[in-house]
Chains A and B, each alone.
Chain A
């Protein structure tokens, strides 16, 4: 009987646990939302929004009426003004002229906490002149995600949008030189340097980002809360915004990977992966242990492939060491994710592992096989880079892009 009881005990102990059970049951997001909720931008009432819509319309007039309306804007308390103006530009139907006044006012003196909601306007705002004002507002707070809009506006054929193009040129001319660097000699050079810094490191020399604290922190957590949504639109919006923030967002996103919510964990990793090599460059520069932090998510089977993707995309120091075990020990999904990630950051260290994995292709998806072929080729060894059967053309193109943008990761620090 004792033996029977032992067996029963043993059986109950070995019942399989769900692989994606949270490690600690923490709610990193809720804790942050609770902590910062009192400093969020106040919500503007419908009545206030309607009233200010009329005032903004009046502000588009010349003469006494327009001046008086603008004066009313001046007289309102700053945070309340930001709140009303943001709510107005987020409204579907508002005349473009009113919208431009609202955006330019936000560009002139909006507080840092407007940044997340303004970045989201880049997704929806179709008025090019307004996009220039958004870019100005964001730049003032050390965010360069509007620079792409400036480049797009200037890429249209001349006189297609003369007003917006003129505003974009003025925007570029207004960028002050940051150093005696030769590139800073002309305005376009300064713009290109800013854009390059933003794209590669998520920093903007001469335009320091405000610390993420107080109302700005509250707005960022509110935006992150959308990642949990079941309807996809809020998720899309949050990923859009968070992946366009400065490098300071990385520790916040990493903190979210500790949350017990599967969607939050997954999408935080995904957002980091979308920021990609710029996140890795920022982390290496700031001595932030990004790979180590991301590797903690590898213990959670439900987000493991996404963690592998993020580690490879960021290519921060130590990435290769974290990825290699999954190429040899993982299941089909994990091996494929590891191969994809290694394509983006692998060095000659992983060459023999890649070649060996290519010898047993059945355990990899066609995506992984193609990634390894490109990796082996990039590392200088002989291999056919023929796409394997079953590989979708879009996935082939994605990996071709990764191969072109490869950023071999440094050895782990310390």
Chain B
């Protein structure tokens, strides 16, 4: 037994090391040897085959949910005015016992399917992609499919996962060292520009290794609109990996709260080499302080563009939720970016209620791959007579349209917080106007 291991271990080491070098080195310099591409091609072919098998077998039963994005029920957007208004006819104002019908129908509709709660859990896939986690209605389909799933499990946990973990170890080593070198107090002030350039290079390289480590295939579109120095980059938020995805193509200054744990260590390391903007939790409450610091950063034209996620929380990449107006009050050019992941290869959404950071990363490293499209949209600035909220909504619609996402005005904070009473009060006010018959008031 001992002899067996003595023979196998060096072989394994060689295998991993060579794979590592073959994938990592090109990644650092931004070109590819085609290994990932070949892997992706095989993967796509396999998944297509699996889909066909599932569809064939489900034709015998009733049709599968062939389009989960269509929704479960037909929702007519009839407004309160239309529904109740039409039964009033000529009478100026009135209450009828049937008024409850409107509210109960809307209520039951929202129980069956609502626009908000579905955004805080992973998107349902149209067809199974051979991962257990996405299989909601497991029923045995065929032996071949099950075998394929089994092979998938072995490949993902046996080959991909260790490989990716290796990466992370090497990555953290690579990252910490240049950080220390760059922020060496002994570095001359004259070499400041060199230091900036070098640290930017190192950052991009590290992010590239990161991305390769997750088998991330990123397609950038409209790169002529890439965010420039002194601007603010605004994007929809799906997971912490968004940062890696965007930083693969250039340097950004991050904004955010100081975290504890693993994130905190990373944050502290990052800030020593690059001027990122981290806030204490208490400071976040002081909006003027936050706005001022961001403004200072933006006005310094030599500094990297700030990266902000105005939704404030992770959304499942089927929609864009309300943008908080804070980022839009700073003044400065906004560079909107739309990020859309392809859910077929791996679900990138971080459901922070269900998974902590470590289990999330493990899930990422055991998916097939991360495939996403990044669109750089033309820069936008606040128009005359437009307030911050309207500006935010305009940017949000542009991003939603480009990424093919649903544009919602619900607050992403509803993930954790209760909805504000003001919305209910609005409805009550509208209804009261109809009952009283007062057409002049709003």
A binds B: no
B residues at A contact (CB < 8 Å):
none
Q: Chain A residues in contact with chain B, CB under 8 A?
A: none
